[in-house]
Amino acid sequence: MKQGSLISKLFALIATATLLIVGWMFFAVLLVFLLSAGLIIFGWIWWKTRALRRQLRVHKQFRASAANDAEAFHADEFTGDIIEGEVIRKVVSIEEIKRRPDDL
């Protein structure tokens, strides 16, 4: 075997090992940077949406009561106009109902 061939193979092995180690170091630094940036962005979004999450929790409570209100609605009690699927309802005071004639 030639001595130059052995030295070139040894140099190639050392160069390959060095490049692999340097590549893994850059990868580790990049991974730490991306994870840190991701955590910071997640924390910022979580902080900025805290009021929205609070509103959603409150809304959940009102959804149950709204379902009960919808079940209590009876169509025969409805007095209003329906135009193209939209309900137009006029709020009438008790005094105004008392003044109405009974022909309704």
Per-residue pLDDT of the chain (104 residues; tens, 9 = 90+): 577 788 899 999 999 999 999 999 999 999 999 999 999 999 999 999 999 988 888 887 777 666 666 555 555 566 666 666 666 666 767 777 777 766 55
Cα 45 to Cα 54, 83, 84, distances in angstroms: 14, 43, 42
Pick the closest to residue 79 from 95, 91, 66, 64 (CA basis).
Answer: 91
H/E stretch holding 34: helix 3-48
Q: What is the CA radius of gyration of the chain?
A: 37
For residues 30 and 37, is the Cβ–Cβ distance under 8 A? no
**pLDDT score at 57:** 83
